[in-house]
């Protein structure tokens, strides 16, 4: 009786994590535009090692982070006008992943190429396409986000790395009832008002919208620091989930001064973009921006808004990572749902359907 020999390379190929753990044929947020300057950016996205780079004439490219010659990470290379040059022996790769120059060698082998990813930069966001075998190239345009081009708003943003799966971040953002407990000193407010706020959940296709109104409530510290409220406020939270990102519009007007159903309402606004992209099955990137409309000392007040936003997101990160660590500690113990989970549960069903589970 003979024993079949297993090729170690084939075994590693079968067992290595890959993009198939996640929904494909869609755009994901790869980076904020400001992250990509004159140096390449190494980032693992959907279990795949990617290098993002900007050519010297400003175009964005994305390749696998491995030179096909001696496997040096291409993220250690040098962007040029026509592509990315490896930092070991100088092979030059264009945006399609094809090697177009080998220093000291005229003939370029046909196999001298690396995997390339479709990317598009718009609205100060860099999107990357992770397709299936059926759709390796995009069959749609990436989402737009006009707030970044709106003169009525100032904005800034940053990126977090989470030691937790990306859907736990979805859960957190779709359930803002936690503000009164987790964010007491920033955007929180009265916990009872948050938990008892009237909530409306709607789904259209792969989009889920959660709307919550908190009338005649006390404005939180972040709001009063940035806007001259006269006392109590009528407050709103509008959360829109897409599989690639979430858009959250929160704010308040002085109590009984105007309808918070009016899309052109005044008052204090916070418009957040939240790109939630898996790094691996157990880790994630959270790429965010926060836009606001300060009425006085706009630059100074916007700086305060961003500082408060960072404090808020730091608190969320602590909670979510502790939550995931405890989920692993307790294993398969079941969790219960309560009324505030309606939006998050719909989002999870959408992700499950997109994965084909």
Beta carbons of 29 and 160 less than 8 angstroms apart: no
Domains along the chain with CATH numbers: 19-130 (2.102.10.10), 149-355 (3.90.380.10)
Averaged pLDDT score across all residues of the chain: 90
* Closest C-alpha among 123, 165, 141 to residue 26: 141
Beta carbons of 147 and 291 less than 8 angstroms apart: yes
φ, ψ (nearest 5 deg) of residue 349 = -65, -40
Q: What is the 3-state secondary structure (H, E, C) of the chain?
A: CCCCCCCHHHHHHHHCCCHHHCCCCEEEEEEEHHHCCCCCEEEEECCEEEEEEECCCCCEEEEECCCCCCCCCHHHCEECCCCEECCCCCCEECCCCEEEEECCECCCCCCCECCECCEEEECCEEEEEECCCCCCCCCCCCCCCHHHHCCCCEEEEEEEEECCCHHHHHHHHHCHHHHHHHCCCCCCCCHHHHHHCEEEEEEECCEEEEEEEEEEECCCHHHHHHCCCCCCEEEEEEEEECCCEEEEEEEEEECCCCCCCCCCCCCEEEEEEEEEEECCCCCEEEEEEEEECCCCCHHHHHHHHHHHHHHHHHHHHHHHHHHHHHHHHHCCCCCCCCHHHHHHHHHHHHHHHHHCC
Convert the pLDDT of each residue in 304-319 to its tens digit.
889 988 988 999 999 9
How would residue 16 be classed by pLDDT, with cut points 50, 70 and 90? low
Per-residue pLDDT, 7: 57
How would residue 186 be classed by pLDDT, with cut points 50, 70 and 90? low
Beta carbons of 59 and 80 less than 8 angstroms apart: no
Task: For residue 339, give both structure tokens.
Answer: 């009324």
Task: For residue 92, give both structure tokens.
Answer: 């030059």
Per-residue pLDDT, 227: 87
Per-residue pLDDT, 179: 63
Convert the pLDDT of each residue in 333-356 to its tens digit.
999 998 888 999 999 999 999 998
CA dihedral 218, 223, 224, 226 (to 10 degrees): -170
What's the rounded Cα separation, in Å, for the pair 357 and 348? 11
Per-residue pLDDT, 97: 98
Of residues 217 and 170, the one with the higher pLDDT is: 170
Task: Report the relative pairing of strands 198-204 and 99-101 from DSSP bridges.
Answer: unpaired
Convert the pLDDT of each residue in 234-249 to its tens digit.
999 999 999 999 999 9
Q: Which of 111-120, 140-149, 265-274, 287-296 shows the lowest per-residue confidence on average (mean pLDDT)?
A: 287-296
Mean pLDDT over 15-28 rounds to 87
* Closest C-alpha among 317, 320, 240 to residue 272: 240
Per-residue pLDDT, 214: 87
How would residue 231 be classed by pLDDT, with cut points 50, 70 and 90? very high
Mean pLDDT over 78-102 rounds to 98
Convert the pLDDT of each residue in 105-158 to its tens digit.
999 999 999 999 999 999 999 999 999 999 999 999 999 999 999 999 999 999
Task: For residue 276, give both structure tokens.
Answer: 């939630």
Task: Report the relative pairing of strands 84-85 and 92-93 from DSSP bridges.
Answer: antiparallel
What's the rounded Cα separation, in Å, for the pair 218 and 227? 13
């Amino acid at each position: 009786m003979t024993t079949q020999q297993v090729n170690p390379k084939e075994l590693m190929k079968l067992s290595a994590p890959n993009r198939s753990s996640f929904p494909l044929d869609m755009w994901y947020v790869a980076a904020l535009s400001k992250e990509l300057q004159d140096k390449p950016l190494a980032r693992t996205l959907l279990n795949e090692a990617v290098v993002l780079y900007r050519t010297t004439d400003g175009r964005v490219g994305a390749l696998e982070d491995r030179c096909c010659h001696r496997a040096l990470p291409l993220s250690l290379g040098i962007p040029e006008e026509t592509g990315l040059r490896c930092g070991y022996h100088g092979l030059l790769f264009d945006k399609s992943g094809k090697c177009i120059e080998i220093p000291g060698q005229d003939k370029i082998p046909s196999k001298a190429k690396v995997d390339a990813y479709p990317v598009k930069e718009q609205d100060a966001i860099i999107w990357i396409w992770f397709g299936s075998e059926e759709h390796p190239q995009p069959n749609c345009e990436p989402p737009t986000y006009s707030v970044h081009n709106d003169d009525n708003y100032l904005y800034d943003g940053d990126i977090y790395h989470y030691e937790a799966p990306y859907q736990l971040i979805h859960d957190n953002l779709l359930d803002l009832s936690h503000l009164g407990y987790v964010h007491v000193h920033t955007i929180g407010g009265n916990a009872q008002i948050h938990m008892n706020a009237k909530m409306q959940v709607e789904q259209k296709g792969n989009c889920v919208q959660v709307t919550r109104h908190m009338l005649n409530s006390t404005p939180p510290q972040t709001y009063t620091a940035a806007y001259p409220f006269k006392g109590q406020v009528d407050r709103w939270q509008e959360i829109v989930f897409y599989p690639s990102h979430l858009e959250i519009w929160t704010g308040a007007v002085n109590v009984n001064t105007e309808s918070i159903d009016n899309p052109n309402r005044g008052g204090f606004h916070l418009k957040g973009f939240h790109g939630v992209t898996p790094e691996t099955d157990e880790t994630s990137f959270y790429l965010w921006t926060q836009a606001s409309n300060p009425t006085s000392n706009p630059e100074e007040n916007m700086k305060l808004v961003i500082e408060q936003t960072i404090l808020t997101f730091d608190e969320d990160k602590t909670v979510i990572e502790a939550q995931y660590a405890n989920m692993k500690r307790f294993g398969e113990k079941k969790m219960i749902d309560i009324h505030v989970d309606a939006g998050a549960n719909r989002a999870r069903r959408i992700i499950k359907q997109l994965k084909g589970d």
